[in-house]
Structure 1
Amino acid sequence: MKTVSIENIAGIRSGSATVKPGLNVVQASNFQGKSSFIASIRTVMGATGHYGDHLLTEGEDTGSVVLETNSDSYAVTVTREQGERPVRSGTPYLATDTDQVSARLFAFLGEDNPIRRAVRNGEDLTEYLQAPLELEDIDAQIRTLKEQRDAVDARIDTAETAAAELPAVQEKVTQLTTELESLRARRDELQQERVDDLQKGDPSDQLSSSKSRLQTVKNKIERIENRIERTTERKADKQSELDELTVPSEPVDSIDVEKREQRIAALRDQIHLIEDLYHANRNMLEDGDLDRITDVSRTVSGDDITCWLCGKESTKRELSGRLEAMQQTIEQLRADTNDLQEDITEYNQQQRLIEQRRSQHDRLEQERKQLGAEIQDLNGERRTYLSKRDALEDEIQALADQLDTTESQYTETLTDVKTEIRTKAARLDEARERLDTLDDRKSDLEGLREQQAGYETEIESLRTRKTETQYELKAAFDTAVSEIIDRFAPGFDHARFDIRTDPQGEIEGFELNIARDGRQTTVDALSEGEVELIGVAVALAGYRVYDVEDRTPIVLIDGISQLASAHLRKLIEYLEATTEILVTTAYPEAGDFEAHIISPDEWDVVSDRDPAPA
């Protein structure tokens, strides 16, 4: 059992009611707060503000709804600063955006339900059917996982290259070790032959050391020159990319986005206001008890009616014509809104393209400059080593000249052996260091492949989940339509979702396909009751696929006056089986219900203080 207490929400200034498990029927005439009670439940559940404003009583600055359950309490306050839209605060029953949006779209089925409204207007349903998926932003998750996977792929390439190079480097280490041992043995033999010649101060040691250092310097110069060549090529590549990159100029036709957005908001407010006026007068003209509010003279040729707004004599046909003119005004306002939105979208797309190209240009320019600085540093380092090389060559030449006059063939041989030993030892150290590096990279390979497989699994899981959910929506809608056709026997043969894909085969939307007498048709050719049944079927498909019954225990239904009383009862029976609590509205003429009846007799509603126009 749940108690709802209301202050200044929609048309209810104050009131409270108890909602029980099973069917709850708010039964009363027009202007008694039925739809406002449904709006109050949506408010405390947290499902207002999504696809519409928070529903604050006109002329009031604050309103609230408190929901008391057997174990918890939830309170929501709606406030409006001067000239601003209402803002919600507090603790609603539904805590997350996903739960709130899912309930708003698929469980709270009032006349202003976005899905029912979209079906009535023949609009694209894709945005609403995929809204819970968009809140999870699965595509962004996939992009992030792909970036992480690509980074791992690069590391795997490095590790695989290391694994392929490892045997050759290992062989090189073994070969250098063997050659170094042989050279050292040869040196020992020479030293044993001429022990007396290898006394301290022997110039061959100094010459050998200088030659070894010279070889090291030459190797360093060669590596630096190779790096300069590679870096110069990379810089040229960046320059080519810069030359090929075209940065668009600012759009010629600049627009004031904020001003257009303000105009859109104003148009939407006008649309909501005129729609409310249209529906209220249309319901009064078609379904209301006109005798209660105006004079009606019924004749054979038609009803003569005294307009309850202006007091002038008119006919039902003339009043219907005025309502049609009001509907055309609404459609024109919607067209104006769409034109403004398209201007904003096109302008924003141009701005994003300009920003992307500028960012790419700046990145390439920065990389080119960095490579240029790197080349300058390398050239400086090369000049330093060239100077060292020249100095060592002069030093070696001087030592060689000295040895020529004092040393025998033995000394030259020993010097060459010592030089080769030092060179081989340096190369062996480099090879061992390279071997350790490659071994470390290879050891990471298995773990990297596991990471790669993990990312692939996550990406595929997200893709599969999104695709399966979209196909589940199609299947669930087919099931709901089949159930409705069996129960209500409407005038259409079937309704289904056709799935729309992009060139890559990714599902990008749903198209509603309706058939009557074996031929495709549109909602414009259906009765209002049939259109509302299709809207309910679409909402139920989302309700089942997104497990909305696990998110909210309540389903709300309102504004189904287009259905006959018998069909309304069938719809209530149909929906009652899907939820723990079903709250619906009904006129007194609908008769008795086997349900918990909620009466607004004790409520203070707007119509009590502000009588309807004559």
Structure 2
Amino acid sequence: MRRERLEERSEISSELEEHQETLSKINENRTEYRQAQRRLDSIEDEIERRRDRIDDLTDDREALTEEIDELEAEIDDLETPDQSDVLDQHKEVNQLEFELERKERERDEIDDEIASIEERLEERSTLEERREDVTDELTDLRTRIDQIEKTAVESFNEHMENLLEILEYENLDRIWIDRTTREVREGRRKVTKSSFDLKIVRSTDSGAAYEDTITHLSESEREVIGLVFALAGYLVHDVYETLPFMLLDSLEAIDAERIATLLEYFESHVPYLVVALLEEDAQAVDGNHAQITEI
């Protein structure tokens, strides 16, 4: 069962690394999507303004066309000998025709710009589909992360319970991690994150249980908690696959008998265990282990 769990943890760790890379890409895509969304909103506003401008220019063109028609009709009716008046009318007609051509060129330029903007708007549907895919991927990753965190907490609690039982610390009943969730603010939005609280329960001489804090633990008890944290992380994250040994040092705060019991427990979970001990502490350890007494 242990081998199966280790293999399962190895697979989960590999998948987690892949999903973390995917999550990084997703975050980049999400940033790019938000920027594109802002650009789309700006483009849509610009399209509305340009369309209103086209309507205005079209009205101007129609008005100018009518005015040109009236002027041309008036020129046709002018058959008087006063040629200067006819020339003035022609000049006015030419000026109006020039203005009309300028307005038409401006309208054509606006039409071309609108066509270009509408082509860019076609990207919107693609971005929306990508957003749905990113949302699904984020959900999967959060599920995987939640499972890894749950496994890590369970591993710590299991090893902590086993060691407290065999180390027999006086009036120390239970130590475990309580995993909860809480909302925190990131920028302008709220997100849900995991919270890990270390719980400690002691008992009085009369047998009454009460909750305690880590600051009231002895140095030996705190050292054991730290070692269990290390062991749980070592196993859950499959560190043994790339680093198949563990080095323990500075265990002097723990008494010799408990050191021997602790090492025996660690030895059953770590491929190779290396421990630096004082001579008096080493005497309590089973002598069947290889020892280095001088360097």
- TM-score bin (small chain): 0.5 to 0.7
1:147 aligned to 2:24? no
1:497 aligned to 2:191? no
Q: Is the 8 A contact 2:244 2:271 kept in 1?
A: yes
Q: Is the 8 A contact 1:498 1:513 kept in 2?
A: yes
Change (3 A) 1:563 1:435: closer
Change (3 A) 1:532 1:138: farther
Structure 2: gaps (5+ residues): 1-15, 45-49, 80-109, 185-189, 204-208
1:457 aligned to 2:136? yes
How far residue 514 of structure 1 moved from its aligned partner, in angstroms, is 0.7
What code does the residue aligned with 1:559 have? S
How far residue 546 of structure 1 moved from its aligned partner, in angstroms, is 2.1
Query: Equivalents in 1 of 2:158, 2:25: separation in Å?
Result: 31
1:598 aligned to 2:292? yes
- TM-score calculated relative to the size of structure 1: 0.31
Q: Is the 8 A contact 1:474 1:497 kept in 2?
A: yes
Between Structure 1 and Structure 2, which shows a larger proportion of helix residues? 2
The answer for the alignment partner of 1:556 in structure 2 is 247
Q: Is the 8 A contact 1:529 1:563 kept in 2?
A: yes
Trace 1:144-183 onto structure 2 (pairs within 5 A). 144-151=28-35
Q: Is the 8 A contact 2:30 2:131 kept in 1?
A: no
Q: CA RMSD in A?
A: 4.5
How far residue 143 of structure 1 moved from its aligned partner, in angstroms, is 4.5
Q: Is the 8 A contact 1:495 1:514 kept in 2?
A: yes
Q: Is the 8 A contact 2:26 2:134 kept in 1?
A: no
The answer for the alignment partner of 1:472 in structure 2 is 151
Change (3 A) 1:520 1:401: same
Q: Is the 8 A contact 1:480 1:541 kept in 2?
A: yes
Query: Equivalents in 1 of 2:25, 2:119: separation in Å?
Result: 34
The answer for the alignment partner of 2:217 in structure 1 is 526
- TM-score calculated relative to the size of structure 2: 0.59
Trace 1:241-390 onto structure 2 (pairs within 5 A). none
Q: Is the 8 A contact 1:494 1:516 kept in 2?
A: yes
Match of 2:192 among 506, 519, 523: 506
User: Which secondary structure state, in structure 2, belongs to the residue aligned with residue 497 of structure 1?
Assistant: strand
Q: Is the 8 A contact 1:472 1:545 kept in 2?
A: yes
The answer for the alignment partner of 2:265 in structure 1 is 574
Match of 1:223 among 53, 67, 74: 53
Structure 1: gaps (5+ residues): 1-131, 162-219, 227-381, 407-429, 604-614
Query: Equivalents in 2 of 1:565, 1:221: separation in Å?
Result: 86
The answer for the alignment partner of 1:398 in structure 2 is 71
Query: Equivalents in 2 of 1:221, 1:403: separation in Å?
Result: 37
The answer for the alignment partner of 1:540 in structure 2 is 231
Q: Is the 8 A contact 1:488 1:567 kept in 2?
A: yes
User: Which secondary structure state, in structure 2, belongs to the residue aligned with residue 506 of structure 1?
Assistant: strand
Change (3 A) 1:523 1:438: closer
Change (3 A) 1:480 1:395: same
Change (3 A) 1:404 1:475: farther
What code does the residue aligned with 1:144 have? E
Query: Equivalents in 1 of 2:251, 2:274: separation in Å?
Result: 13
Trace 1:110-149 onto structure 2 (pairs within 5 A). 143-149=27-33
Q: Is the 8 A contact 1:155 1:448 kept in 2?
A: no
Q: Is the 8 A contact 1:156 1:449 kept in 2?
A: no
User: Which secondary structure state, in structure 1, belongs to the residue aligned with residue 235 of structure 2?
Assistant: helix
How far residue 555 of structure 1 moved from its aligned partner, in angstroms, is 0.4
Query: Equivalents in 2 of 1:444, 1:150: separation in Å?
Result: 12
Change (3 A) 1:151 1:553: same
Change (3 A) 1:464 1:153: farther
Query: Equivalents in 1 of 2:287, 2:234: separation in Å?
Result: 25
The answer for the alignment partner of 1:263 in structure 2 is none
Larger RCO, structure (CA 8 Å, separation 6 or more): 1
Q: Is the 8 A contact 1:496 1:514 kept in 2?
A: yes
Query: Equivalents in 2 of 1:455, 1:571: separation in Å?
Result: 46
Deviations 1:83-116 (A, max 9, x none): xxxxxxxxxxxxxxxxxxxxxxxxxxxxxxxxxx
1:565 aligned to 2:246? no
Q: Give the number of equivalent residue pairs.
A: 226
Query: Equivalents in 2 of 1:221, 1:516: separation in Å?
Result: 76
How far residue 511 of structure 1 moved from its aligned partner, in angstroms, is 2.4
Percent of residue pairs bearing the same amino acid type = 23
What code does the residue aligned with 2:259 have? L
How far residue 582 of structure 1 moved from its aligned partner, in angstroms, is 0.9
Query: Equivalents in 1 of 2:179, 2:139: separation in Å?
Result: 20
User: Which secondary structure state, in structure 2, belongs to the residue aligned with residue 397 of structure 1?
Assistant: helix
